[in-house]
Structure 1
Amino acid sequence: MAFPDIQSFLRLLEQRGELLRVSVPVSRELEITEISDRLVKRGGPAVLFEQVQGSEFPVVMGLMGTRERTALALGVGGLDDLAAKVRHLIDLKGSGGMMGMLGNLPKLRDAMHLPPRRVRSAPVQEVVWRGDEVDLSHIPVLKCWPLDGGPFVTLPLVITKDPETGERNMGMYRMQVMGRNTTGMHWQRHKTGTRHLEKARRRGERLPVAVAIGGDPALIYAATAPLPPIPGLDEFALAGYLRGQRYPVVKGVTVDLDVPANAEFILEGYVDPQEDWVVEGPFGDHTGFYTLPDLYPLFHVTAVTMRRQPVYPATIVGRPPMEDAYLIEASERLFLPAAQLILPEIVDYHMPPAGVAHNLVVVSIRKEFPGQAYKVANGLFGLGQMMFAKVIVVVDEDVRVNDLGAVWREVARQATPGRDTLTTRGPIDVLDHSSRGWGYGGKLIIDATTKRPEEVGSGASSRDDQASDLSPDVFAPAASSELPRFEGVLAQRQTPDGYWMVALHKTRAGQAQELAAVFAAHPAAAGMRHLLICDQETDVTDTDDVWWTVLNNIDPERDVLVLPTPGGALLAWDGARKLPEEGFVRPWPPKIVMDQAIKDRVDARWHLYGLPQQWR
């Protein structure tokens, strides 16, 4: 496939019936978010908003809002094909004499497409704003959620260069518009951009920065991909490999950085490491909670270049499922072969939307010896951005990792609380609001594989024997009239596969732990394996909502407890909010909820948008 840009991709989507146009004026403050959120959650099409109030430029949303559109954007028939492409490349033959080496030539030709290709002129530099001409308010940057600190650029491809080595990096870091020519730069402590800025500080230099908006959808994806630290492999190289040809770049007009030649906009400028950092946020983040205000560097925009008729692409993140779930799935498929090179017993792995990437990883393995589940989990904790994983569940090779119902049933059947669960600690995503410290907290490994004799003492050694120990009668839910009562409990539900879900309105310190102790001692606990304590906003009839809340709200070492029950043992997950009286000093963020007035406005205007009622 020839290199597409956003506009050629839009034409392709429209031909396939995957793009709709909204021709009436819409607001970039919340209204576009509400429309787009409904569409992505219902598997709807991408949308081009042709008239955005306060800007001459149209906005496109949902470019990769389904699994199929994401595959199309990356030039593959399905996301599983990404794993096949990488496996083909890394499976080089090192033996077999001359004929064996000649067999590598087609793969090496693929690898030659990795470095980008410099061009002299580019569509993205057809129009140039410099100096006082720069006014970011003319670009239709969205305010996505009611409590957001302002408008945020949500699909920025932020390009920097190591001041010492010249190594290039591209990452996707949200950018809050602060003024006509300034934005925040959300470089977290583990990000490459932060390292580049620190090196510039030591050298007494400003750090040049270029921010691309748009371009090849494969490059947009590449900016989100957790690339391994391999010399010569960067985001341009990944996009080039996916496309099968070298990516076109052009030198910036005011910065010595290569930028995507086929982008829609480029923001050029610098970050001064000697400047005080600025307050950025709040921001409705991919966790589904708001990230609270914090200090981040300030980006000064000295020039804006663009096409003559650009389109502004954006995305929204928030309560799953969202568009980013498909980008995460693409990364799963792309890096599965690399994980299998290091941990060959891995069959598959999955990061489900309810786990918002890092909170839950499910991995299936070919088990050959006792303790292998822990070996794999600990190995994953050491692989790149997998270090941020909070809960890793290990299952047998015949369990489908993307079937969460089957996974949790297997956890209940195969993992005895305490015996087959292990807490540890390590780096945590800085966006995690529940960890004991900023970027540092507890982790949980659950071994839900079939146990070997060494792992159970004198117990059963086969899955069938264990299954007989955990007969369906053990998991029989109690009648609602037999469930215990406790202060603040708004709703509760037991499931036939051993899960007890509780919505708690927490008003005092220690309330959730007291609830767990009372419930574990109650006769109704005899048929349960897991007690999931949620906040009062959680719908206990919605399993995904329960797990999303619990996984966001726990530090496993602090909040996951093994308690004795009349029927054995119970794993209690304290997913209620934490209070200052409990030693939790950071503010607890709210969940993202759209203003009711905006919902009502979108309902009333839906017929004007020209969008089908099925997506409403």
Structure 2
Amino acid sequence: MRSLPAFPDLRSFLTWAEGSGALARLTDPVDLRHEMTAFELAALRAGGPALRFERAVQADGQPSPIPVIANLFGTRQRVAAGLGLDVQQVPEFGSFLAALRAPAPVEGMRDALSRWPMLKAALATRPKVMKRPPVQQERLPDLTALPVQTPWPGDAGPLITWPVVVTRPHDTPPEAVQRYNLGVYRAQVLGPDRLILRWLAHRGGAAHARGWARAGAPMPVAIALGCDPALLLSAALPLPETVSELTFSGVPRGARTEIAPARTIPLMVPARAEIVIEGWVHPGETALEGPFGDHTGYYNAAEPFPLMQVSAITCRRDPLYLSTVTGRPPDEPSVIGEVFNDLALPVVQAQIPEVLDLWLPPAACSYRMAVVRIAKRYPGQARRVMMALWGMLPQFSYTKMIVVVDDDIDARNWDDVLWAISTRMDPARDVMSIDSTPMDYLDFASPREGLAGKIGIDATTKIGAETTRDWGEVMALDPAHEARAAEILSKVLG
């Protein structure tokens, strides 16, 4: 299935990107405070390359000896490449992931042999322990050695934006990596040896923290910076709660995940990351985090989140620091979200077979609105699809608006969607509204924090008991006439 080689670390991926013309080295000094953000967003909006800042200027005015990598996944092509795929192969990989979640029964030896790629993927999820991991070749004195960005003018301070935070449940030994959780939670730098971890209550890291707190014990935490692309993307994927992102990353990488025991905490860490920050989160110890610019395009409020006490920082020789910036789309997370949209579609179709396409518009913060194209067969079907989606995955519980359209509508074309809404929807009949449902507390439009309404718009042709009127007939030309006109006009118009 893979069309690209396995990338065991960030460096190998950057080497591939540079050879493909998808990496630019910037030798001019660029300030880590606010200025670097302008470079990242300009490159992303132009569909440009990943950036390597050779002279990232720190708060003291001196360039950092550690280069900064940014805009790594600034195009759909590079997100797909991080999974070892061409963009055209993403839907196929999504079908493969759907089959891994719920494999069909094997029917005979021929069928069993055809499943070999799936078996190989399952074997790739078994991590490999390294005795001399590259990430422990050297140590850094403290957090001030890292070239951490302050992305936006209203931000409270330096913010680690691409951390892969590694945690485990209290009742498991360090070797039980199949129980680990990896999450991308932003981390505010408070001082040389203190960080604030912003994990929301429904995330895996927060669930682990509650278990350690109930036991009255400090929780070991590792923050891996500059991981290989498969591990980075796995940490961001909406995987089932029972699946460890650490072990799963072997599937998109096409090779086993290499791990090693941390130096100062009882935890296994990615062996080929660029940098690993080790430390402890003590029960009840919090600090005020924020405000920071968020993916909504607004600054979020300052709130208390867990405090992490750093015990060690290990790194590779000549380490790289990976960064990104979040803000109103388009930003790097929204580009990743576009690819994840295509990965999720087969999973949705496995549960709701009448779904032909699903689009989460990036401009709607990648998940707050969904347009669903269905093969409609019976009255009320559009509403059933809406309710099924809201209850299917935790991520869809934050989708405020769902628009359902027929199979003759392109769900990813706003002109088509608006035409369907304008001609197939009656506000009094075809709008479903629900109150007091879960919502991202960063949604300032919500009347209550964490609770909001939802709206479903049935923009499908009404059939059966849905209407008492004869429905209009859609106008269309004879395809043969259209083809002949196109052929002749192409000669006339050049």
TM over 0.5: yes
* Candidates 346, 351, 365, aligned match of 1:337: 346
* Candidates 261, 267, 272, aligned match of 1:262: 272
**Largest Rg, 1 or 2:** 1
Query: In 2 relative to 1, CA 304–108 (structure 1 residues): closer, same or farther, beyond 3 Å?
Result: same
2:466 aligned residue? 455
* Candidates 83, 94, 111, aligned match of 2:94: 83
Secondary structure of 1:284's match?
coil
Residues 529-540 of structure 1 correspond to what in structure 2 (within 5 A)?
Answer: none
* Candidates 368, 381, 400, aligned match of 2:410: 400
Q: Is the 8 A contact 2:361 2:367 kept in 1?
A: no
Secondary structure of 2:429's match?
coil
**Corresponding letter in the other structure for 1:31:** E
**Corresponding letter in the other structure for 2:458:** D
**Corresponding letter in the other structure for 2:165:** V
In structure 2, C-alpha distance between the alignment counterparts of 1:368 and 1:302, rounded to whole Å:
60
**How far does residue 104 in structure 1 lie from its aligned partner after superposition?**
3.3
Secondary structure of 1:392's match?
strand
Residue 25 (1) aligns with residue 64 (2): no
Residues 300-315 of structure 1 correspond to what in structure 2 (within 5 A)?
Answer: 300-315=309-324
Q: Is the 8 A contact 1:33 1:145 kept in 2?
A: yes
1:519 aligned residue? none
Cα offsets for 1:551-607 (capped at 9, x unmatched)? xxxxxxxxxxxxxxxxxxxxxxxxxxxxxxxxxxxxxxxxxxxxxxxxxxxxxxxxx
In structure 1, C-alpha distance between the alignment counterparts of 2:113 and 2:233, rounded to whole Å:
33
In structure 1, C-alpha distance between the alignment counterparts of 2:404 and 2:259, rounded to whole Å:
43
**Corresponding letter in the other structure for 1:343:** I
Residue 58 (1) aligns with residue 67 (2): yes
1:170 aligned residue? 182
Residue 239 (1) aligns with residue 243 (2): no
In structure 1, C-alpha distance between the alignment counterparts of 2:466 and 2:125, rounded to whole Å:
46
**How far does residue 326 in structure 1 lie from its aligned partner after superposition?**
1.9
1:11 aligned residue? 15
**Corresponding letter in the other structure for 1:401:** A
Cα offsets for 1:69-113 (capped at 9, x unmatched)? 111122101133432432564574425345444543442232221
**How far does residue 402 in structure 1 lie from its aligned partner after superposition?**
2.1
**TM-score normalised to the size of structure 1?**
0.72
In structure 2, C-alpha distance between the alignment counterparts of 1:197 and 1:430, rounded to whole Å:
20
Q: Is the 8 A contact 1:451 1:462 kept in 2?
A: no
* Matched-pair identity in %: 38
Secondary structure of 1:9's match?
helix
**How far does residue 43 in structure 1 lie from its aligned partner after superposition?**
1.2
Residue 214 (1) aligns with residue 218 (2): no
Cα offsets for 1:477-529 (capped at 9, x unmatched)? xxxxxxxxxxxxxxxxxxxxxxxxxxxxxxxxxxxxxxxxxxxxxxxxxxxxx
Q: Is the 8 A contact 1:361 1:393 kept in 2?
A: yes
Cα offsets for 1:274-313 (capped at 9, x unmatched)? 32x2111011101111111111111111100111111111
Q: Which consecutive residues of structure 1, in runs of 5 or more, have no partner in the other structure?
A: 468-616
Residues 311-330 of structure 1 correspond to what in structure 2 (within 5 A)?
Answer: 311-330=320-339
Q: Is the 8 A contact 1:347 1:365 kept in 2?
A: yes
In structure 2, C-alpha distance between the alignment counterparts of 1:379 and 1:273, rounded to whole Å:
38
Query: In 2 relative to 1, CA 97–12 (structure 1 residues): closer, same or farther, beyond 3 Å?
Result: closer
Q: Is the 8 A contact 1:94 1:100 kept in 2?
A: no
**Corresponding letter in the other structure for 2:279:** G
Q: Is the 8 A contact 1:170 1:223 kept in 2?
A: yes
Q: Is the 8 A contact 2:134 2:271 kept in 1?
A: yes
Residue 197 (1) aligns with residue 200 (2): no
1:249 aligned residue? 259
Cα offsets for 1:12-36 (capped at 9, x unmatched)? 1111111111112111001110111
Residues 69-468 of structure 1 correspond to what in structure 2 (within 5 A)?
Answer: 69-78=78-87, 79-87=90-98, 89=100, 92-94=103-105, 96-129=107-140, 133-134=141-142, 136-165=143-172, 167-230=179-242, 233-275=243-285, 277-382=286-391, 383-425=393-435, 426-456=437-467, 458-461=468-471, 464=474
In structure 1, C-alpha distance between the alignment counterparts of 2:213 and 2:121, rounded to whole Å:
38
**Corresponding letter in the other structure for 2:291:** P
Cα offsets for 1:363-382 (capped at 9, x unmatched)? 11111111111111111111
1:552 aligned residue? none
Cα offsets for 1:389-440 (capped at 9, x unmatched)? 1111111123222222322222222111121111113110122112121111
In structure 2, C-alpha distance between the alignment counterparts of 1:59 and 1:70, rounded to whole Å:
19
**How far does residue 358 in structure 1 lie from its aligned partner after superposition?**
2.4
Q: Which moved more, 1:88-97 or 1:440-449?
A: 88-97
Residue 41 (1) aligns with residue 48 (2): no
Cα offsets for 1:163-217 (capped at 9, x unmatched)? 1256210000011111111111101121111111111111010111000011211
**How far does residue 4 in structure 1 lie from its aligned partner after superposition?**
3.3
**Corresponding letter in the other structure for 1:174:** R
Cα offsets for 1:47-72 (capped at 9, x unmatched)? 11101123211111111101111111
**How far does residue 226 in structure 1 lie from its aligned partner after superposition?**
0.9
2:480 aligned residue? none
In structure 2, C-alpha distance between the alignment counterparts of 1:347 and 1:262, rounded to whole Å:
40
Secondary structure of 2:220's match?
strand
Secondary structure of 2:373's match?
strand
In structure 2, C-alpha distance between the alignment counterparts of 1:90 and 1:182, rounded to whole Å:
39
Return the structure number with greater relative CO, CA threshold 8 A, min gap 6. 2
Secondary structure of 1:196's match?
helix
In structure 2, C-alpha distance between the alignment counterparts of 1:374 and 1:419, rounded to whole Å:
12
Query: In 2 relative to 1, CA 115–438 (structure 1 residues): closer, same or farther, beyond 3 Å?
Result: farther
**Corresponding letter in the other structure for 2:347:** A
**Corresponding letter in the other structure for 2:388:** G
Q: Which consecutive residues of structure 2, in runs of 5 or more, have no partner in the other structure?
A: 59-63, 477-494
**How far does residue 220 in structure 1 lie from its aligned partner after superposition?**
0.9
Query: In 2 relative to 1, CA 14–452 (structure 1 residues): closer, same or farther, beyond 3 Å?
Result: same
Q: Is the 8 A contact 1:93 1:100 kept in 2?
A: no
In structure 1, C-alpha distance between the alignment counterparts of 2:352 and 2:297, rounded to whole Å:
32
Query: In 2 relative to 1, CA 218–452 (structure 1 residues): closer, same or farther, beyond 3 Å?
Result: same
In structure 2, C-alpha distance between the alignment counterparts of 1:116 and 1:162, rounded to whole Å:
18
Q: Is the 8 A contact 2:47 2:75 kept in 1?
A: yes
In structure 1, C-alpha distance between the alignment counterparts of 2:205 and 2:98, rounded to whole Å:
29
**TM-score normalised to the size of structure 2?**
0.89
Q: Is the 8 A contact 1:453 1:459 kept in 2?
A: no
Cα offsets for 1:138-165 (capped at 9, x unmatched)? 2011000000011110000001001125
In structure 2, C-alpha distance between the alignment counterparts of 1:463 and 1:161, rounded to whole Å:
59
Secondary structure of 1:358's match?
coil
